[in-house]
Structure formats: structure tokens, C-alpha cells
Amino acid sequence: MFSAIDMAPRDPILGITEAFNADINQNKINLGVGVYYDDNGKVPLLSCVQKAEEILIATPAPRTYLPIEGLAAYDKAVQELVFGADSAVIQEKRAVTVQAIGGTGALKIGADFLKRFAPDAEVYISDPSWENHRALFESAGFKVNNYAYFDAATHGVNFAGMIADLKAMPRGSIVLLHACCHNPTGADLTADQWTEVIGTISSGGLVPFLDMAYQGFGAGIAEDGEVVRRFAATGGPLLVSNSFSKSFSLYGERVGALSVVAASADEAARLMSQLKRVVRTNYSNPPVHGGKVVATVLTTPELRQLWEDELAGMRVRIKEMREAFVQKLAAKGHDFAFVRDQIGMFSYSGLSKAQVEQLRAESIYAVDTGRICVAALNSRNIDIVIDAIAKVL
């Protein structure tokens, strides 16, 4: 039965990690990762998470099943974070939220849900996008197309191309958008450009699906969530996946959520019943621990403040690394000013595949597309990286 099965293609990022792990150079640097490292090159354990875990341990609880849609306190806190506590969609009970297994799980629930109710729609993702977007929607049975997004010449967004592609999409098409901190390019839309995108999507009868995996890594928690609020104000339909993997440094706990905005409270109740069916037939109900940690932090004022401060610390450190990267390359005669304008954890550095390969010979690992994780740079490795990049330019 299994003898004819082919080997599946390797995950490109995992391939980098394997090559990095096999490298015996003690000064090797992995810029191919998709996680935030602190200035010591370590994945941080946030103090707010540790304190929340202390609270949870002090009040031991049996591990019963959570409801299908997840922990109520978590879903409520997520909704308020994503849409804003004073949001009309919350007040009017038009938003429904289910706890999900990370941002990936949220996207998968959303994709399976959409496939049931919009089976003939096609999905559009940015060119380029997080590499799992295409695979996730294809595995849910959708045809996945690209819309123009990145302009290699300007290192920014090809906005005219994006709008032209949005206008050409058939009504009912599903458009996946990065709410902030675009992965992999680091190129985001301006507020005015979002106005035009929101207008085009509304008038074109398109279904926006916002993926927010980096809330708080751009301009701030509220600032990054603003796009979601602006879409929600149009009245829906709207799907939003969000993840706490990065913003809480809780990668392995798998904490995320899917929220859907409906036209009325009655419609929302029906949507929730169908979302629960999707969850039930995938994994029945979500795990307890990560959801409890995040809910505890978000609903305990001191911990919430601590989290906001710690997240700001991560955001500021990335910005400092961007600035240092630009200045140090400028000092060697290379203009990388665009890296300062990019936002979030990643940068499409403009390095070619050949240059990335040359860097590998120096034990510095990046993605073939030239994507580097700015959060993998730190005060001790940046000079090594700059010297190596200057050498291959």
C-alpha cells in the first residue's frame, strides 16, 4: 500500500536549519529562522508568561476538556485585543472567536470553514507570502493564486499592481492579507494604501482573510491591530487569524485564534455552530495550557502591562538591529536604507540566491530568496554578518 509513495518536498526553511545544525563552525549564524531571538541569541521566556504559570501552578486544576471553541476567557480577551474592547462588532455580538492551535491552526479552521460555504471560490495570496499559506489553502481544496505585492526594484509594495489584481478578482474571491509585518518581505502598506485596499475589497465583493501573526512587532499592539478594526468597521464578512507564538514567545504551546465577523448576532451564532463543527472534526477541542497562560496575562492588569513592556522591548530591539544593519553597511559604502523602512521580524534583503550561497560558505545562513530574520541579529553577531555581506556584494 505504501510502496509507491514519493518523498514529499523538503521544507525550505527546515533545510536551512539542518544545514546550520550540521555546520561545525562555532561562529555560525542562522538568519533563516522564523523566531525572535533576544540579544543573547536565545528564544526568550517572557516574565509575564513565567508569572502567569506561577499563578496557575498555585491553583492546580484538573485537565478536563475545554469547550470546542476553547477557553471562554481566552476567546473574549483575544476578541478585545484584535478588534478593540469598544468595537461595534463585539458590542453587537457580531464577532465569533475560536481558540486555535497557533496561527496555522486558525488558518486551517478558516480554510476548512470557507470550503464548506464557498466551495467554488478561489483564494488569492500575496506574491510572495508565508510559504505555508498556499499549502494550507490548497490542502483545504482551494485553487490558490497570487496577487502582485512585492516590488524588488523599490524593496517596497507594488501597490498599483496589487490594486489592479484586486480589481480583476471575481466577486466572492477570498483574499489573504497580512495585517502587519509582512512575512517574508517586511514591506507593509501605508494607512492610505489600506484605505484603498479596503474600498476595493468592499466594492469588489471580495472576502478578506487577515492573518495577524506579528501583532505588536510593527508600530505597537493597537497600531498593528488598526487594520483589523478598519476592515471590521466595513461590516464583514471578515476572517482574522491571529497567533501568540511570536508576541508571547510561546511557539511550542500553539496558541492562536480564528475570529469571524458576521452581519448580525443571529448570523454570528450560526457561524459559530459551523466553526465548532470544523474544530470537532479536526481535533475536537484545543489544548488548555497555552490558552490559560495568555488569558491570565491579558486579563491581569499587572501582567498585561508587563507583557506590553516586554513586547515593546522585542519591537525596539528589532528596530535597533535594522538601524545598525543600515548604518554599518552604509559605512562600507552600501545603501541598504530600505531595511530601515521595512517592518516586523523579516527583511527581503535584496541579496541574490548566489550571494546567499556565498554567505553560507562563511557559515551565515539565510533563505535563498534573500529573506533574513532581523530578530536573529544581535550586538555580538552583527559585525560578523555585515563583514560577510559586504564581502559578497
Tell me which residues are annotated as active site: 130, 211, 246
Residue with cell 472534526: 281
Q: Find the Cα–Cα–Cα–Cα dihedral 348, 350, 352, 353, rounded to 10°.
A: 0
Residue 213 or 314 with smaller CB distance to ligand PLP:
213
Helix (H) or strand (E) holding 325: helix 301-331
Using CB under 6 A as the binding rule, whether residue 245 contacts ligand PLP is answered as: yes
The answer to whether 130 contacts ligand PLP (rule: CB under 6 A) is yes
Give CA–CA dist 204/121, Å, rounded.
14
Does residue 83 belong to the site contacting ligand PLP (CB under 6 A)? no
DSSP code at position 211: E
Give least dist CB 107 to ligand PLP, A: 6
Query: How far apart, in whole angstroms, are the C-alpha atoms of residue 155 and residue 145?
Result: 22
Contact between 213 and ligand PLP per CB under 6 A: yes
Residues 150-179 that bind ligand PLP (CB under 6 A): 178
Size of the site for ligand PLP (CB under 6 A): 12
Q: Which of 211, 224, 310, 362 binds ligand PLP (CB under 6 A)?
A: 211
Q: How many Å apart are CA 351 and CA 340, to the nearest integer?
A: 16
In the bound state with ligand PLP, the residue whose beta carbon lies nearer, of 242 and 355, is 242
**One symbol per residue from 3 to 42: x for binding ligand PLP (CB under 6 A), - otherwise; what is it?**
-------------------------------x--------
Instruction: Pick from 99, 200, 215, 243 the residue near ligand PLP by CB under 6 A.
Output: 243
337: left (phi over 0), alpha (psi -120 to 50) or beta: alpha
Q: Which helix H or strand E contains 176, and what residues bound it?
A: strand 174-178
Contacts of 201-204 with C-beta under 8 Å, sequence gap 24+, read 201/166, 201/175, 201/231, 202/234, 204/166, 204/167, 204/169, 204/171
Does residue 356 bind ligand PLP (CB under 6 A)?
A: no
Minimum distance of ligand PLP from residue 130's CB (angstroms): 4
Only segment of 99-107, 113-121, 292-300, 375-383 that touches ligand PLP (CB under 6 A)? 99-107
103 touches ligand PLP (CB under 6 A): yes
SS3 334: coil
Q: Which is nearer to ligand PLP, 240 or 359 (CB)?
A: 240
Where along the sequence are the contacts to ligand PLP (CB under 6 A)?
34, 102-104, 130, 178, 183, 211, 213, 243, 245, 256
